[in-house]
Structure 1
Amino acid sequence: MDIIKELLSELESEMAISRKMLALVPEDRFDWAPHPKSMTLKRLATHLAEIPAWFTLAVDQDVLDFNEGSYQPTPIKSNADLLALLEKSYHTGKSALERLPEALLDKPWIMRGGEAVYLDTTKYGMIRHAFSQTIHHRAQLGVFLRLLDIPIPGSYGPSADEMG
């Protein structure tokens, strides 16, 4: 089995679903959140659009330390900006996967915040984590959209909106 080829195929499938969902995010509700502890719709959608680029973290680094660096979400002003960010992230992530030698998939990889270790895995595990994060946050986005009475598309089959 060609694992990289399989990961690239999965990336294509997941991006098609993410494109459909992100296309529905209403600009006039960017600042809305369903609960004070929830991200805003804009922040959640931006986060989802950035995740495909995480593959570069697995390919180019062995450790991600949140205490180093000063991450800021990509500024988004419109739905078009959001979709452009997804495409940029997708191409960045795809390029990283394409240049990853399969032999490095089992190399250790760690996500930490200083001394606190959040994820101790392999490069392959980090790639799987990024896919899981995509699915998780896309499902959150589906709930947000549902709460705003926006019909949602199916992800792995038809949604209740598509079934009538």
Structure 2
Amino acid sequence: MILQYLLGEFEHEVTSTRKLLQAVPEKDLDYKPSEVSWTMGQLAQHIATIYYWYEGALTKDVYDMAADRLERGSPNDIKATLELFERNVEKARAALKSLTEQKLQDNWTMKAGETVLLGPIPRGIVSRGFLFNHIYHHRGELIVYLRATGNKVPGMYGPTYEESKKN
């Protein structure tokens, strides 16, 4: 039963993430709010990349990030980031559809070479915390970047403040 809810949430949130990434303008890809922050382009690309991690998190018991090679392209090309997002969403969707209720209970570990970065923890917790919530966190950051640069933020859970004031 939980798998149906995860798939439903995934599909709804993919639509919201797509709208947000499509709102990122080329002219502001180099914007960053502080010296320690990512640029808007890097942040958008990171959001697109998280969808790639679904496959390793949901289909492998141990995901070694050091052994994985993802071609991302330039974070200064929003069209390439959108293409990366779409490719990764397809992989993420397939990984989610391969899950069973039992696999959600199985332990999962993320490492980089011999260094354990996360886990072992149940895959169901990984799906919510490391994957879903991770994307939501960075989407919130991207919304702040868009507003700080004077760009329009798309409504994702109904109209935005600006959209609600038009009526």
Distance in 2 (alpha carbons) for counterparts of 1:139 and 1:48: 11
Q: Which residue of 1 aligns with 2:81?
A: 82
Q: Which residue of 2 aligns with 1:33?
A: 32
Distance in 2 (alpha carbons) for counterparts of 1:71 and 1:35: 29
The 5 Å alignment of 1:8-157 reads: 8-66=7-65, 68-69=66-67, 74-76=72-74, 77-113=76-112, 114-115=114-115, 117-128=117-128, 129-157=130-158
Q: Unmatched 5+ residue regions in structure 2?
A: none
Distance in 2 (alpha carbons) for counterparts of 1:126 and 1:51: 12
Distance in 2 (alpha carbons) for counterparts of 1:118 and 1:126: 9
Distance in 2 (alpha carbons) for counterparts of 1:56 and 1:72: 12
Distance in 2 (alpha carbons) for counterparts of 1:121 and 1:158: 37
Q: 1:117/1:81 Cα in 2 relative to 1: closer, same or farther (>3 Å)?
A: closer
TM-score, length of structure 2 as denominator length: 0.86
**Share of identical aligned residues, percent?**
31
- Tell which deviates more after alignment, 118-127 or 31-40: 118-127
How many residues are treated as equivalent by the alignment? Answer: 162
- Give the AA of the match of 1:146: R
SS across alignment from 1:14:
helix
Q: Unmatched 5+ residue regions in structure 1?
A: none
Distance in 2 (alpha carbons) for counterparts of 1:127 and 1:161: 33
Distance in 2 (alpha carbons) for counterparts of 1:116 and 1:60: 18
Q: 1:161/1:59 Cα in 2 relative to 1: closer, same or farther (>3 Å)?
A: same
Q: Report if aligned partners of 1:108, 1:122 keep a CA contact under 8 Å in 2.
A: yes
